[in-house]
Structure 1
Amino acid sequence: MDKNIGLYICTGCSIGESIDVEKLSNIAKNALRVPVVKSHFALCGKEGVELINNDIKNEGVNTVVIAACSPRIKYEEFDFPGCIVERAPLRELAVWMQDNKENAQLAAEDYVKMHVIKAQKGDLPEPYMMETVKTILVIGGGIAGMTAALQAADAGYQVFLVEKEPQLGGFANKLYKVVPTATGEYSEPLIVDSDISNTIKAVEGHPNIKVYKSAKVEKTDGQPGAYDVTISANGAEEVVKIGTIVLAAGWRPYDATKLEHLGYGVSKDVVTNIELEEIAKNNSGKIIRPSDGKEAKKVAFIQCAGQRDPNHLPYCSAMCCVTSLKQAKYVTQNKDATAMILYKDIRTPGRLEYYYKAAQNDPGVMMTKGEVTGVTKAENGNLYVEMENSLLGEKIKIEADLVVLATGIVPATVDDPILNLQYRQGPGLPDLELFDGFADSNFICFQYETRRTGVYAAGCVRQPMNMSEAQEDATGAALKAIQAAEHVAKGIAVHPRAWDMTYPDPFMQRCTACKRCTEECPFGAIDEDEKGTPFYKPGRCRRCATCMGACPERIVSFKDYHVDMIGSMMKNVSVPADDDKPRIIVLACENDAYPAIDTAALKQTKLDPSVRFIQLRCLGSTNLVWIADALSRGVDGMLLLGCKFGENYQCHFAKGSELANYRLGKVQETLGRLQLEAERVQMVQLAIDEYDNIPKIIGDFVERVKEIGPNPFKGF
């Protein structure tokens, strides 16, 4: 594309009062060879937009550089279809964050140079188009899977539903009664019939849903919009074309045989909460002791049985407390019976708190907090539940004729990949290391999203939840699956860069098959052929450019984002000859760090004038050559600001900032070759709401660079 660049400088929002616009214009015309340079007091207003549109129409401008406010705002006003549009944030970074006009002018000149060069180096994005389908595969025929299937089918999409059991319904089929979903206070803890049979009828009778029962997914090949999924059912195999996938495979109870200290397997009268549902359902609501067939009159419920326990399940299963409250009602339907709930804590979020309060007022229900240490046999054939540190005393024994263990939820994906993906990085979804088996669904930023593009987790494969929550979860996952199918059909990315039409375009002639890109891609977007040469599946790509940062040969690029582009921006940052004035380049992630910087600017926060910011898609895209080139040119220090990584606060691209941190561990060697101190390069994790920390982070780093001294390459 032959570029005709137009630079448009806004003089509003204090920009014209703080910088010399004429000097800035002359630099653009003479040093940068920009043919069209104009200014306006309000570029985002009607007249300003018309000014740019007239130049596009009459002057042939096809590359627009807006030197005004942050690229995170006014993006609708500055949308010029068919043109490259680049934004230089003079207001925030050159005016609001500088303490005087001299510093504001120098910063403005740098930011205009950088963003004009970025526009010069970029190209107009083109969508990645391929032949796609918009069908949706739902794996799992429980309440979550059926809800997802119905939501997608009602929206007009063809759905294929795969269930491993001979019938739909999942664990809901085993329930005697359920907790009512109506809001408001309860006069007593109610139990109602499940309507699971109606949901099953709706699914099996829907014209847009094809159901496979006693079935499993044997293989999932391809990419979003063009998956080839092999389904085996009733001894036959069928390959179906799939656009996107909802994984709602459900859960299984924790293995109670591991809880021998609680009496399971030692006495027949120690059962799990799921087994109690079967007892109640098979006996029309009566709670019968397995050992002798007599009706239980004193039933002890042990909460968190093997849960919130580092030796078993470290997490809370979310549904057990309300399940025990419901099952206590089964017991107290016999007015002579007593239900005893022994808990670490009672957790009934939202409107379920009313259900808890109603159970507290039931005279047949006794609740006490404590730590259950064991279950032993009593001489009369009953059981003793032993507790410590309870509300009833330091050490007590409670006699019961039946003990119920709230064993909790284990996702069905544990030890079973289910999807059987034909991906280099493995057949299953990456899961959370701390909570083995639950899909890594980026719970903070993009719920339902997994690290396999086009695959959305719903229900208890994503996190523990009750039936009502699973239905809501399934609706969200179905909507995201629909959105992804639509985006892939248009050749654009899914979240978080849901507008992005670019895709990686590697120059494979220089590829050394080092495998760094295939290993580091957080989303499994790169496979390898039989010779070990990587090849891309762009439909899987989230456009984070982690592969670009990983590649030592620098062969991966995007139309509007590549190694040479960012490197050229850095090389054109002014480096003061005065040793007392350092120059610091800050690489900031567009998802957390840059918005935090914007917020700090909005608060008129002043920063050290030595700093220049460059926005990156993700710190995972950081190529170490940028650091070497910038420091060899005389830049005194580089600071990388990225998302907090780890499972308690997740990077938007899952592993981006973590990979950048890993790579920086290798920068010591690079700096050693340049005979520079490793402390000149640092990385700091920054959450989007930690904007108040930015002055200290920047200030401390600048002071440390001053202590180290000026870069010896300065002036060369």
Structure 2
Amino acid sequence: MMEKVGVYICTGCDIDKLDIERLKNVAKEEFGIEAKIHPHLCSQEGVEMLKNDAAELDALVIAACSPRVKTALFTFDDKYVERASLREGVVWSHDIDEHAQELAEDYLRIAITKAQKAEKPEPYIEEVSKDILVVGGGVTGLTAALEVAKAGYKAHLVEKEAELGGWVAKYYKTLPVEPPYTRIEENPVFQLIDEVKSNGNIEVYTSAEIDSISGQPGMFDVVLNKDGEKVQFRVGGIVVATGWKPYDASALEELGYGKFADVVTNLEFEEMAKEGKILRKSDGSEAKNVVFIQCAGQRDENHLPYCSSVCCLVSLKQAKYVRELTNGNAFIIYKDMRTPGLWEDFYKEMQQDDGIFLTKGDIKEIKEEGGKLTVVVTNTLLGEDIAIKADLIVLATGMVSTLKGLYTVKEEFPDEKTVPYKHISEPHLIKSEEDVEVIKQAGHILNLQYRQGPELPTLKYGFPDSNYICFPYESRRLGIYAAGAVRAPMEIASCIEDAKGAALKAIQAVELVAEGKTTFPRTGDIDYPQFFLQRCTQCKRCTEECPFGALDEDEKGTPMPNPLRCRRCGICFGACPERIISFKTYSIDQMASAVKSIYVPDPNWDEGAEDKFRFIVFACENDALPALDMSALNGKKWSPLARIIPVRCLGSVNTVFIADALSKGIDGILLVGCKYGEDYQCHFIRGSELANRRMENVAETLERLMLEKERVQVVEISINEWDKITEIIDNFVNQIMEIGANPYKGF
């Protein structure tokens, strides 16, 4: 409990349109606090006053602008600060009348209550390692290790093969990485290898695989199997740079692979070029006419549904090989020629070569006549079918993440083991010994000793899962960052940039966890969930629903927290039916008390109470709250009968909040959070989804209270839908007003 709470009301930015004296009276008469008024709390003078007062206080309530702005300005050492949004939340988004005044007074009540009910958080501090483990010795891994070392940290580079370099070491030349992006270049990987081997801050382990990784960020204990011997060390963060594997071309018999000797993959062609000769496999003669078939087994639901993004560029590069090594002709048959960004200049340069022929088209037939291959192409830009005599056919097969096919646990079925089919992306539940064998053959990469599975959770195409718009490199495991082609198909230049980003993320993570802080999206938060395990019923809701693997469990199902794995989303807090999980600054008592602090007019005593409905909007702090702020900034208005209460995530809303609100007489409750689904953007992965699932429990609560189910609704929006959120709130308010007031008012 915070005993010394100071209340400060700003009157700038039109806040003075409100009755400030009435706000002062709320603080004085209901909480016994003398509020201070200032015309501009964000001014140098205002901040100086706050700093001086903070020395004598446990917490500060700042009734001014949105809690999303001026956060650094209103941060005072280790003091708890609660913000009441009078600017965006009231004066910029409402007509100033009695309803708006009551709204402002409720926001002040909520803020003071939350400040009084908060406790001072203490960071979880342990002695941590700041070394970084880099898994994978290709271009991405080599770059990541070098960047870690250059920044003054030690890198442990693990490569399962006997030599460093990965697939790129097999390349003849590479795409341009420097302006003017028009000429293929010498392979850079060998210089990277030399730099890594000569760097004293990098420990290299080749012919090594990871037997296990246990612990948490800052304290990952790694066990390697190197040439049959165990090697152990501790690291703070991990960069996964295990790259890609080529799509299995044996599945492409319709394109002649495995049927005709002179049909090869782009990777096999690259190895030919590195030897300095482009020869037919069938008879060893020089290949003068080479046909490149794009999207071989890609953008096809029967194979890879996605585009691998680099294959068009690779075929253009390899067409140049044909011109340089054989002075022959190259024919590229494509669905769409994709050369994004500055690669367009490379494409244009290749178009100028008379020996490189490009056309859009579909492969109608590949046949062999007199020892020569013929490719029949239909739907061409020429308007007619064409037949090309080919010495060699090169299939542009796609890139598959090395994580695809590995055993992990799909969070939707946390108690079940899952395994993907060979050519289909979706996993299925393990039901036979044959499935178990598939898992064993798939091998492993990280072998995490996590309750929720040994590898990084992946999207349906086998790429490691993250919020791809907001947090590149992130995975669902704090302190572990994917980079390069393991997380998305990309060429060498992008892999190098990706490696640098992931290395910086890993360094940021170890520095933050050393201070007991978390990373995105609540960067710097030192608060973490506390468990009162004496009352735990081992229901396993918290361990199953945590999206980040922060909770292990013992043989009875009792949660075993790993605080440094935690992202402080509060999903476990929202999941617990016994309410034994709590944060110092986000507790059941604090949030329930904040709900109860809202003034609900009593029809038995308050004149006009029948017109004063009350609604609560639990707004996700990552999408819904900023969308509301943007609405206010753009002059949009919504019903003053709705009280916005920010929450860490919709998944952190415990059903007791709803029960308490309805029991108090709140007429309707709207939960607004991030979108979820195939293209989800929930910052905490599954929060909105879980909030929807928990509606079954809410429905039971409503039925028990004999209330209409429409009184509690869940809506998902994205941050850019600020122009819609006001309409959503108003429609909800109008719908409940038609149903009528909560019958519990006045009880």
What is the TM-score when the length of structure 2 is the normalising length? 0.92
Find out whether 1:388 has 2:371 as its counterpart. Answer: no
Which of 243, 246, 260 is 1:267 aligned to? 260
User: Which residue in 1 is equivalent to 2:725?
Assistant: 694
Which of 655, 660, 663 is 2:694 aligned to? 663
User: Which residue in 2 is equivalent to 1:159?
Assistant: 155
Alpha-carbon contact 2:114-2:591 (below 8 Å) kept: yes
User: Which residue in 2 is equivalent to 1:3?
Assistant: 3
User: Which residue in 1 is equivalent to 2:21?
Assistant: 22
CA distance in structure 2 between the aligned counterparts of 1:334 and 1:550, rounded to whole angstroms: 64
User: Which residue in 1 is equivalent to 2:195?
Assistant: 202
Deviations 1:658-685 (A, max 9, x none): 2112212442222111111111111111
CA distance in structure 2 between the aligned counterparts of 1:185 and 1:170, rounded to whole angstroms: 24
Tell me the secondary structure at the aligned position of residue 713 of structure 1. Answer: coil
User: Which residue in 1 is equivalent to 2:672?
Assistant: 641
CA distance in structure 1 between the aligned counterparts of 2:111 and 2:470, rounded to whole angstroms: 29
CA distance in structure 2 between the aligned counterparts of 1:680 and 1:650, rounded to whole angstroms: 26
Partner letter of residue 425 of structure 1?
Answer: Q
Which of 480, 486, 495 is 1:461 aligned to? 486
Counterparts in 2 of 1:598 and 1:2: CA distance versus 1, 3 Å: closer
Partner letter of residue 412 of structure 1?
Answer: T
Partner letter of residue 75 of structure 2?
Answer: D
Which of 505, 512, 520 is 1:480 aligned to? 505
CA distance in structure 1 between the aligned counterparts of 2:77 and 2:52, rounded to whole angstroms: 14
Which of 119, 138, 142 is 1:123 aligned to? 119
Counterparts in 2 of 1:667 and 1:372: CA distance versus 1, 3 Å: farther
Tell me the secondary structure at the aligned position of residue 612 of structure 1. Answer: strand
Find out whether 1:328 has 2:319 as its counterpart. Answer: yes
CA distance in structure 2 between the aligned counterparts of 1:668 and 1:388, rounded to whole angstroms: 58
Partner letter of residue 536 of structure 1?
Answer: P
User: Which residue in 1 is equivalent to 2:344?
Assistant: 353
Counterparts in 2 of 1:333 and 1:52: CA distance versus 1, 3 Å: closer
Tell me the secondary structure at the aligned position of residue 6 of structure 1. Answer: strand
1:358-507 matched pairs, under 5 angstroms: 358-377=349-368, 379-393=369-383, 395-416=385-406, 417-433=444-460, 435=461, 437-507=462-532
Deviations 1:28-67 (A, max 9, x none): 1121222x4211111121222233333344xx32221111
Deviations 1:613-669 (A, max 9, x none): 000111110111111221122111111111112342421111111211221244222
Counterparts in 2 of 1:374 and 1:163: CA distance versus 1, 3 Å: farther
Deviation of 1:414 after TM superposition, in Å, equals: 1.7
1:673-684 matched pairs, under 5 angstroms: 673-684=704-715
Partner letter of residue 221 of structure 1?
Answer: S
Tell me the secondary structure at the aligned position of residue 222 of structure 1. Answer: strand
Partner letter of residue 616 of structure 1?
Answer: V
Deviation of 1:531 after TM superposition, in Å, equals: 2.2
Tell me the secondary structure at the aligned position of residue 489 of structure 2. Answer: coil
1:51-130 matched pairs, under 5 angstroms: 51-57=49-55, 60-130=56-126
Alpha-carbon contact 1:441-1:462 (below 8 Å) kept: no
Find out whether 1:215 has 2:196 as its counterpart. Answer: no
Partner letter of residue 7 of structure 2?
Answer: L
Which of 628, 634, 638 is 1:597 aligned to? 628
CA distance in structure 2 between the aligned counterparts of 1:352 and 1:87, rounded to whole angstroms: 48
Deviation of 1:78 after TM superposition, in Å, equals: 1.6
User: Which residue in 1 is equivalent to 2:421?
Assistant: none
Counterparts in 2 of 1:580 and 1:394: CA distance versus 1, 3 Å: farther
Tell me the secondary structure at the aligned position of residue 138 of structure 1. Answer: strand
User: Which residue in 1 is equivalent to 2:292?
Assistant: 301
Counterparts in 2 of 1:529 and 1:462: CA distance versus 1, 3 Å: same
CA distance in structure 2 between the aligned counterparts of 1:564 and 1:638, rounded to whole angstroms: 19
Q: Which runs of 5+ in 1 are unaligned?
A: none
Tell me the secondary structure at the aligned position of residue 406 of structure 1. Answer: strand
CA distance in structure 1 between the aligned counterparts of 2:474 and 2:621, rounded to whole angstroms: 19
Alpha-carbon contact 1:584-1:610 (below 8 Å) kept: yes
Tell me the secondary structure at the aligned position of residue 397 of structure 2. Answer: coil
Deviates more, 1:24-33 or 1:571-580: 571-580
Alpha-carbon contact 2:278-2:326 (below 8 Å) kept: no
Deviations 1:491-513 (A, max 9, x none): 11111111201011111111111
Tell me the secondary structure at the aligned position of residue 390 of structure 1. Answer: coil
CA distance in structure 1 between the aligned counterparts of 2:309 and 2:54, rounded to whole angstroms: 58
Tell me the secondary structure at the aligned position of residue 186 of structure 2. Answer: coil
Tell me the secondary structure at the aligned position of residue 238 of structure 2. Answer: strand
Deviation of 1:287 after TM superposition, in Å, equals: 1.2
Partner letter of residue 706 of structure 1?
Answer: M
Counterparts in 2 of 1:335 and 1:159: CA distance versus 1, 3 Å: closer
CA distance in structure 2 between the aligned counterparts of 1:599 and 1:698, rounded to whole angstroms: 15
Deviates more, 1:18-27 or 1:523-532: 18-27
Deviation of 1:82 after TM superposition, in Å, equals: 3.2
Partner letter of residue 46 of structure 1?
Answer: Q
Partner letter of residue 150 of structure 1?
Answer: L
Alpha-carbon contact 1:444-1:649 (below 8 Å) kept: no
Find out whether 1:38 has 2:33 as its counterpart. Answer: no
Partner letter of residue 654 of structure 2?
Answer: N
Deviation of 1:335 after TM superposition, in Å, equals: 6.6
Partner letter of residue 582 of structure 1?
Answer: F
Deviation of 1:342 after TM superposition, in Å, equals: 0.4
Alpha-carbon contact 2:288-2:326 (below 8 Å) kept: no
Tell me the secondary structure at the aligned position of residue 304 of structure 1. Answer: strand
CA distance in structure 1 between the aligned counterparts of 2:41 and 2:273, rounded to whole angstroms: 71
User: Which residue in 1 is equivalent to 2:335?
Assistant: 344
CA distance in structure 2 between the aligned counterparts of 1:585 and 1:274, rounded to whole angstroms: 59
Deviations 1:580-615 (A, max 9, x none): 332110011111110111111112322111111000
Deviates more, 1:160-169 or 1:98-107: 98-107
Alpha-carbon contact 1:589-1:616 (below 8 Å) kept: yes
CA distance in structure 2 between the aligned counterparts of 1:398 and 1:714, rounded to whole angstroms: 81
Alpha-carbon contact 1:139-1:162 (below 8 Å) kept: yes
Find out whether 1:178 has 2:174 as its counterpart. Answer: yes
User: Which residue in 1 is equivalent to 2:568?
Assistant: 543
Alpha-carbon contact 1:441-1:457 (below 8 Å) kept: no
User: Which residue in 1 is equivalent to 2:615?
Assistant: 584
Deviation of 1:100 after TM superposition, in Å, equals: 2.4
Find out whether 1:248 has 2:275 as its counterpart. Answer: no
Deviation of 1:270 after TM superposition, in Å, equals: 0.4
Tell me the secondary structure at the aligned position of residue 210 of structure 1. Answer: strand
Find out whether 1:145 has 2:159 as its counterpart. Answer: no
Alpha-carbon contact 1:335-1:364 (below 8 Å) kept: no
User: Which residue in 2 is equivalent to 1:238?
Assistant: 231
CA distance in structure 1 between the aligned counterparts of 2:517 and 2:365, rounded to whole angstroms: 57
Partner letter of residue 68 of structure 1?
Answer: A
Tell me the secondary structure at the aligned position of residue 172 of structure 1. Answer: helix
Q: Which runs of 5+ in 2 are unaligned?
A: 407-443, 604-608
Deviations 1:252-297 (A, max 9, x none): 1000000000000001100000000111112x1x210011001112
Partner letter of residue 387 of structure 1?
Answer: V
CA distance in structure 2 between the aligned counterparts of 1:290 and 1:185, rounded to whole angstroms: 33
User: Which residue in 1 is equivalent to 2:47?
Assistant: 49
Counterparts in 2 of 1:374 and 1:140: CA distance versus 1, 3 Å: farther
Deviates more, 1:338-347 or 1:696-705: 696-705
Partner letter of residue 164 of structure 2?
Answer: L
CA distance in structure 2 between the aligned counterparts of 1:548 and 1:123, rounded to whole angstroms: 16
